[in-house]
């Protein structure tokens, strides 16, 4: 045996020492990686929390308390069947409400009603609704609208003794949607707000060919019965220009998604209206809540402003296997991208939409809901709180009813 070779016991000691050092090094690396992972998770969690808190700061502290329900008896007023109430507006000076009927001049000429809501003077409660007036809508020539050529859905007071009426149009008959101003007393049309061409169908588009392949034109514009339903006005004082806000019930044809369970992308229009021609200030993308069973249809039916800083309440009505329902959302438009130059959202997916926060799911009220479509902030109640009222469109059906729901608006 070579005397210079280390003894076997010494060799074992060296190996043992090296093994311990490697084990300690591996342990330290694992510990470092573990600590780094924990720190990363902590940072991500806190960033998400901070982001959520920052997002919450975009919204007002708003809630709703349900008070009571009132069902309007089936009736006629001045030879018109009262029904189809699709939009609601409150006149605080006259203390009356205006409700537009979505009758397409089928049961009587297109019209809106004046309503007197009677509240209990001693406690917050809606006791009765009385129809006290009706105004027939007339075109610029003073004629009533022919049957099937108008679909009035939204109404808003301007403060100039006029109302704005939104019509969805009738695309099946190539009748365009409109937002027009009408005299409050005579019902005569006074002027129109501009509707961008992307909201209008193009009936004269022709197919093209690439070789033997026929290329059909891409459909565009509002879809039938899915145009303008939501309409509201914000005005500081009489005589000043005012702002008008409108939303399509669902996505335009060119914005629809192949997957129906994806959120529908409606368009939100912002106008400035004064003595000069009305101007479109901006447009934003409004994400309608996605459809999921048992719901098979959902759209935006009403909007009301709750301040002058870009905060609104919207009403989204749904239908499905479990019947009719609705949700009220608070939305914030302040940091949404302007989409005026975007013809189709399909080609521009990375757009910052309007922010939304759920205020109330009306399914939680525990009452049978009808086809809720109108919403308005009303007068102060007996306890000094602010009222908010919803109304339903009974579709002139004996199986449905005109439902008024009274809420306390807390903010």
Tens of pLDDT, residues 180-237: 999 999 999 999 999 999 999 875 555 555 665 656 668 899 998 899 999 999 998 8
Q: Is the pLDDT of residue 260 over 80?
A: no
Q: For residue 3, what pLDDT is reported?
A: 47
Among candidate residues 269, 257, 277, 189, the one with its CA nearest the CA of residue 228: 269
> Which residue carries 């409700």 as its tokens?
99
Greater model confidence, 35 or 83: 83
Give the CA dihedral 174, 179, 180, 182, nearest 10 degrees.
120
DSSP string, 45-92: HHHHHHHHHHHHTTS---EEEEEEEEEEPP-EETTEE---EEEEEEET
- The pair of three-digit structure tokens given for residue 339, joined into one six-digit string: 């989409």
Question: What residues contact residue 212 under an 8 Å CB cut-off, 6+ apart?
Answer: none
Q: What is the mean pLDDT of residues 277-292?
A: 94
Q: Which pLDDT does position 207 carry in this prediction?
A: 52
Nearest to 274 by CA among 305, 231, 230, 233: 233
Determine the average pLDDT of the residues in 125-142.
97
- Buried b / exposed e over 91-130, threshold 16 CB at 10 Å, is beeeebbbbbbbbbbeebbbbbbbbebebeeeebebeebe
Least confident of 43-47, 64-68, 227-231: 43-47
**Average pLDDT of the chain, as a whole number:** 87
The structure's pTM equals 0.84
338-385: per-residue pLDDT in tens? 999 999 998 887 899 999 999 999 999 999 999 999 999 999 999 999
- The mean pLDDT value for 397-409 works out to 98
> Could you tell me the residue ranges of all domains in the chain?
60-199+219-410
Token pair of 392 as six digits: 């339903």
pLDDT on residue 52: 44
The mean-pLDDT minimum among 8-12, 84-88, 264-268 falls in 8-12
pLDDT at residue 16, rounded to an integer:
54
* CA atoms of 337 and 411, how far apart (whole Å): 27
Which whole number is the average pLDDT over 117-136?
Answer: 98
In angstroms, the first-to-last Cα distance of the chain is 95
Secondary structure element (H or E) that encloses residue 129, with its range: strand 126-136
DSSP SS3 for 254: helix
102 has pLDDT over 80 = yes
- Burial code (b: 16+ CB inside 10 Å, e: under 16) for 194-215 equals ebeebbbbeeeeeeeeeeeeee
CATH of domain 60-199+219-410: 2.115.10
Above pLDDT 70, what percent of the chain? 83
Higher pLDDT: 105 or 34? It is 105
pLDDT of residue 50: 40
Three-state DSSP class for residue 35: helix
């Amino acid at each position: 045996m070579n005397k210079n070779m280390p003894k076997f016991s010494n060799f074992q000691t060296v190996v043992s020492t090296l093994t311990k050092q490697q084990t300690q090094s591996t342990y330290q690396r694992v510990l470092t990686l573990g600590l780094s992972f924990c720190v990363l998770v902590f940072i991500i969690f806190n960033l998400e929390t901070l982001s959520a808190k920052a997002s919450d700061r975009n919204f007002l502290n708003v809630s709703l308390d349900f008070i009571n329900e009132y069902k309007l008896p089936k009736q006629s007023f001045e030879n018109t069947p009262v029904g189809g109430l699709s939009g609601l507006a409150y006149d605080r000076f006259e203390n009356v409400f205006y409700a537009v009927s979505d009758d397409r001049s089928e049961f009587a000429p297109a019209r809106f009603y004046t309503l007197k809501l009677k509240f209990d003077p001693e406690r917050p409660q809606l006791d009765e609704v009385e129809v006290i007036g009706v105004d027939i809508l007339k075109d610029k020539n003073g004629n009533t609208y022919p049957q099937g050529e108008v679909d009035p859905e939204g109404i808003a007071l301007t403060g100039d003794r006029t109302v704005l009426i939104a019509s969805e149009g009738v695309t099946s008959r190539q009748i365009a949607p409109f937002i027009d101003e009408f005299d409050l007393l005579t019902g005569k049309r006074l002027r129109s707000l501009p509707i961008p061409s992307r909201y209008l169908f193009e009936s004269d588009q022709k197919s093209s060919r690439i070789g033997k392949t026929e290329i059909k034109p891409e459909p565009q514009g509002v879809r039938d019965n899915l145009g303008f339903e939501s309409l509201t006005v914000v005005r500081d004082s009489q005589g000043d220009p005012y702002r008008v806000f409108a939303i399509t019930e669902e996505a335009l044809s060119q914005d629809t998604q192949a997957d129906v369970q994806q959120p529908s992308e409606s368009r939100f229009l912002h106008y400035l209206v004064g003595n000069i021609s009305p101007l479109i200030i901006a447009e934003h993308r409004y994400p309608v809540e996605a459809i999921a069973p048992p719901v098979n249809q959902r759209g935006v039916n009403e909007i009301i402003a709750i301040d002058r800083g870009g905060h609104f309440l919207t009403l989204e009505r749904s239908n499905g296997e479990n019947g009719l329902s609705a949700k009220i959302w608070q939305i914030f438009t302040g940091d949404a991208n302007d989409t005026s130059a975007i013809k189709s959202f399909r080609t521009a997916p990375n757009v910052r939409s309007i922010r939304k926060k759920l205020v109330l799911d009306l399914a939680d009220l525990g009452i049978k809901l009808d086809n809720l479509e109108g919403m308005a902030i009303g007068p102060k109640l007996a306890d000094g709180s602010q009222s908010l009222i919803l109304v339903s469109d009974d579709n002139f059906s004996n199986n449905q009813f005109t439902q008024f729901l009274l809420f306390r608006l807390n903010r």
